[in-house]
Each structure stands twice: as structure tokens, then as C-alpha cells.
Chain A
């Protein structure tokens, strides 16, 4: 029990580190309203015959337009995959924190039926949905990064294998316990699935 809690502790630390790193990411910066208005600013200036947008080059070469500072889009398919993956790990951690251990042993009295729609169960379902969405967006936006011929040591291939396995393990654990009113042994599968996803994220972080 202590062992699995230690592993979970390590996984949670990793997830929180990921969060700290993510906070440094420029992606979350909102675009300025003015930049939305003047996306094609150079064209406006050229149309107005303002020559300062042209870089002075030797006479035998053609002028080149100055590239304005490029701000990557705030929301892309790739970023959606990234956010969903982090949300899955967060939801898995919340599911773990809300778990309840029923009394086991001869001294336990009659047990109340297991809640199939309590906080833990609902968070588990949300985790499975998020994991499925993460896998789906990964397949959609990163399919070109997966090349079987590069072998298992390729970080992207390993990311796919561990991510998909993690999602499948979590889905299996949730399916096993979702409708059961008596305690089921599903925690190990779910925890292993979540850990597998954390490692998958770290490999390509």
C-alpha cells in the first residue's frame, strides 16, 4: 500500500512540475485586440506606398518584406491535445484523492452499498472521457509523428504506446467498477494507467 502511494506521489509531483513548466509557456498569452485588426499590416502600408516596410537590400536583389513579429495561434489541435492530456492527469489525480476504502475484515459490520454516482465515480468517468479525447486528438493532430519503422526507442512512438495503453487501462478499470454496488478491485489498473500517461507526457514534454 505504501509502495503504490509512493509511486502515486511521484506521479503527482511530475504532474505538478509539468504544470509549473506549462505556466512558462507563451501559448496561454492572449492575443492583443490591436494585432487582430492589423494582421495584414504590411499590405495596408504597401497599399499606402509607405516604403519603410521594405528592407534595403543590394540593388541586384529583390526587396524582401520585413516579417512582422509572429505570434503563434493560441489554440491549435496540437495545443488541444496537450491541454487534454494534462487535464486527464489532473482528473486522474482528483479521482485518486476522492477514493474511499471500504472496511475489510471480520470486525466490519454490514457495509453500505457502493456509490456508483458519487464524486469518485463521476471523476473516474470524466477521466476516462478526457483520456479518450486525448487519444483521439493525438491521432488526429500527431499521426504524422508516429513511424513504426523508427522502433520503440523513438520518443513519439513510446508516447503513443504508453498514452494509448494508459487510456485503455483507465477505461478498463472504470468499466469494471462503474455499475458495481459492491467493492471491486480496479484501483491498481487505473493507477497504472494514469502513471503510464504521465510517463507518456514526460517523454514528449
Chain B
């Protein structure tokens, strides 16, 4: 009886430790003991990021791309031609934004959806668009074209908040999706 319990305790400890090893480099204990929900993506909590990025498009949470993507996107040259637009920033602002992105990128985050994005982008070229991430593509592949490109109130997958009603809060789950003009659509 006692021996069995000892084996069970050993197994339990092994189980916990292997999960930690699998999951990441640091602060496994902190994450394990965290009381807040970390199921989605960390919401944007940087004023400059919100203002600068949010002035043209949704201020995408940095946890939607890995750091290698932000490195490619957030430099003077790349911002000079940011998907066809000039999004140049002064040096100080660029540094703040870049530091924020790199500190909260998918591969630095404990949030579940970010961890999945980090795993999906671990190998290969850094994606420059969120919609190029394998995991994001797979999550949306069942949605008919008419509901996205053919939908005048959505137009592109890039407009996350057109359907993800809680995108600003970093929540992208099925329960909070409402596709404009298709209120009865269910995944």
C-alpha cells in the first residue's frame, strides 16, 4: 500500500516536471501557480503600441507572431514599406514598440494560443502576416470564402475583430465569434 503511494507520488512529480520541460524555458512554477486565465493571447497593455499600430489597423497582440517575425517587421526599412504603406516611426517610438513586441511575442508567452503559434512557427521562415501562420490557417480553413472575402463587412482574415468580438481582449475562441451577416453560422 505504502509502496504504491510512493510510486504514485514519484510518477506525479515526474509528470509535473516533464510538463514543465516540454513547455518552456523559465518560470514554470510561476505559470503553474498563476490564478489568471491564460488560455488565449495576452491582450495589448502598451499605450504606444495601441496608439501607433491601432491608428491604422487593429493593434494585434504581439503574442500572435513569434519574435523572429517581429524582428523582420519592426525595423526602419521594413516599416518604410509596411505592406504597401509607409509606417515609419521615430527612433524612440520604434524602440519601445520593438521591445514590447519581442518581450511579448508568441515564443515568449505562456498563453495557450501563443504557445500553439510558437510551435507552429518554430521551423521554417518567419511569417510576416498572422494569416500565414499554419495554426491560424488551419483554424479558419472551414470557413467559406463568401463569409470572409465575399462578406462586405469582413473582406479579409486580417480584420480579426470583424468576427472575433473579443479580439481586443485577446480572446479568439469559438464562443465569441460572430460573423457579420451570418449570425447563425456555427463552427
User: Which A residues form the contact surface with B (CB < 8 A)?
Assistant: 1, 3-4, 6-7, 14, 17, 20-22, 24-25, 27, 62, 64-65, 67, 70, 72-73, 76, 78-79, 104, 144, 147, 150-156, 158, 162, 185, 187-189, 191-192, 195-196, 199, 202-205
Contact A205 B39 (CB under 8 A): yes
Contact B8 A188 (CB under 8 A): yes
17 chain-A/chain-B pairs, Cβ below 8 angstroms: A7-B12, A7-B13, A14-B32, A14-B33, A21-B37, A64-B152, A67-B165, A67-B180, A72-B176, A150-B120, A153-B119, A155-B116, A188-B7, A199-B15, A199-B16, A204-B39, A205-B38
Residues of B within 8 A of A67 (CB): 165, 178, 180
Residue in B11, B37, B153 whose CB lies within 8 Å of A64: B153
User: Which B residues form the contact surface with A (CB < 8 A)?
Assistant: 1-2, 4-9, 11-13, 15-16, 19, 22-23, 32-39, 112, 115-116, 119-120, 138, 152-153, 165-166, 173-176, 178, 180, 187
**With A and B bound together, what is the CA distance between A164 and B12 in angstroms?**
15
**With A and B bound together, what is the CA distance between A17 and B115 in angstroms?**
22
Contact B175 A79 (CB under 8 A): yes
- Sorted nearest first, the 4 A-B pairs with minimum C-beta distance are A188-B8, A70-B165, A188-B4, A3-B9
Contact B36 A21 (CB under 8 A): yes
Contact B15 A17 (CB under 8 A): no
Contact B116 A1 (CB under 8 A): no
Q: Tell me how many residue pairs across A and B have CB atoms closer than 8 Å.
A: 102
Residues of B within 8 A of A153 (CB): 22-23, 119
Contact B9 A203 (CB under 8 A): no
**With A and B bound together, what is the CA distance between A39 and B76 in angstroms?**
47
A104 and chain B: residue at smallest CB distance:
B1
**With A and B bound together, what is the CA distance between A187 and B7 in angstroms?**
12
